[in-house]
Amino acid sequence: METTVDKYTYKDFANEQEVRWCPGCDDYVILRAVQKALPETGVKKEDVVFISGIGCSSRFPYYMGTYGMHGIHGRAPAIASGVKLANPKLSVWVITGDGDSMAIGGNHFIHVLRRNIDLNIILFNNEIYGLTKGQFSPTSLVGQKTKSSPYGNTQPPFQPGELAIGAKARFFARIGGNVPKEMTDIFIEAQKFKGTSLVEVLQNCVIFNDGCYVKYTDKDVREDQQLFVEHGKPMIFGKNKDKGLILKGLKLETVTIGENGITEEDILVHDAKTEDPTLHQMLVRLEHPLVTGIIRSFPDVTLEEREDALTAQIKAKSEFRKTNDLFFSGETYQVN
């Protein structure tokens, strides 16, 4: 049975399962954005695999019409690595949350990024444990009151992008949970990118951490509080498109175009594809404005490519074709 790629719609990537997230959860937005992105990527439905860990977000594969596995807590990157290495033709996606990837799965998270296996990781960051009903997570803020920090959280958080780029991530994007169009575009780019792509979605948890991103993502403030970067374009933001970033010494500074002699020419142009992650790290760390979009997209050799090349080279040189060749090679002797 040959499926023709051009007739896919988002419905082809959905299934009949009833989606069971809380009403109003951003997870619905992410699910639909993924289902809308996939038809645009040219990937065949049967070649798509979703692997998740544990947590609210990790129910995701059950709601897709593709192959999928709901794995165990924190281990999705490792399971997905096995899938991809076993069959590099597949489009393999990892669905994870801030607890799943930053806490229990921290080790797999950094190593998958280091290796640069061609996976797409969507990190649902809601700065809280939802499924276990409201404990602080590794991205919760200091002082945040949760069920396991009734007097305020005392553990300083990770910034996922900072950790990821520190772990040699070649592709990192960040996007608000309430902008489906931009999110879809980023997922398409993540799939196109060869290597591990990490997309952090600032996902609002309506039950346990409602409004945690509202100061950045609310429709009224979004344009002034977020800088949406695009490769090759100046880093300009604001309702009036008059704010921009410049580099002053070793710090990024927000300036207003037209004030103090600043023109558009002075504004930094985003280079997502440079190997040097210094500026990407600075962008990731910035709080005012919060940087969204594809912050880093440096093309590099993938692990599968390295492995394939090595295998081809060794196969060409080796005298062994079948296991019998090996078993009867070297020091054998006859007993009569």
Please answer whether residues 161 and 279 qualify as being in contact, where contact means their C-beta atoms are separated by less than 8 angstroms: no
Q: How far is the CB of 130 from other proteins (least distance, A)?
A: 17
Taking alpha carbons only, the member of 52, 31, 44, 37 closest to residue 87 is 44
CB of 18 to other proteins, least distance (A): 10
Is 332 a binding residue for other proteins by CB under 8 A? The answer is yes
CA distance linking residue 21 with residue 225, whole number of Å:
28
Q: Tell me whether the omega of the peptide bond preceding residue 88 falls within 30 degrees of 0, making it cis.
A: no
Q: Which of residues 46-65 bind other proteins (CB under 8 A)?
A: 46-52, 54, 61-62, 64-65
Token digits of residue 199: 């997309």
Q: Smallest Cα–Cα separation from 64: which of 187, 161, 169, 177?
A: 187
Residue whose token pair is 């580099």: 247
Give the pair of three-digit tokens for residue 63. 């709601």
Nearest-angstrom CA–CA distance, 4 and 323: 39
Residue 313 C-beta: closest distance to other proteins, Å: 9
247 near other proteins, judged by CB under 8 A? no
User: Which residues, 170 to 229, sit near other proteins by CB under 8 A?
Assistant: none
* Choice from 87, 148, 155, 256 touching other proteins (CB under 8 A): 87
Beta carbon of residue 134, minimum distance to other proteins (angstroms, whole number): 21
Cα distance between residue 224 and residue 167, in whole Å: 30
CB of 75 to other proteins, least distance (A): 4
Contacts (CB under 8 A) with other proteins, residues 95-114:
107-108, 111
Interface with other proteins (CB under 8 A), residue from 72, 167, 268, 286: 72
Q: Is residue 307 within the footprint of other proteins (CB under 8 A)?
A: yes
Give the C-alpha separation, 150 to 49, whole Å: 39
Measured on CA atoms in the order 228, 234, 235, 241, is the torsion positive or negative? negative
Selected range binding other proteins among 79-87, 120-128, 205-213, 230-238, rule: CB under 8 A: 79-87
| Binding-site ranges for other proteins (CB under 8 A) | 1-3, 17, 44-52, 54, 61-62, 64-72, 75, 78-87, 89-90, 107-108, 111, 307, 310-311, 314-315, 317-318, 320-324, 326-328, 330-336
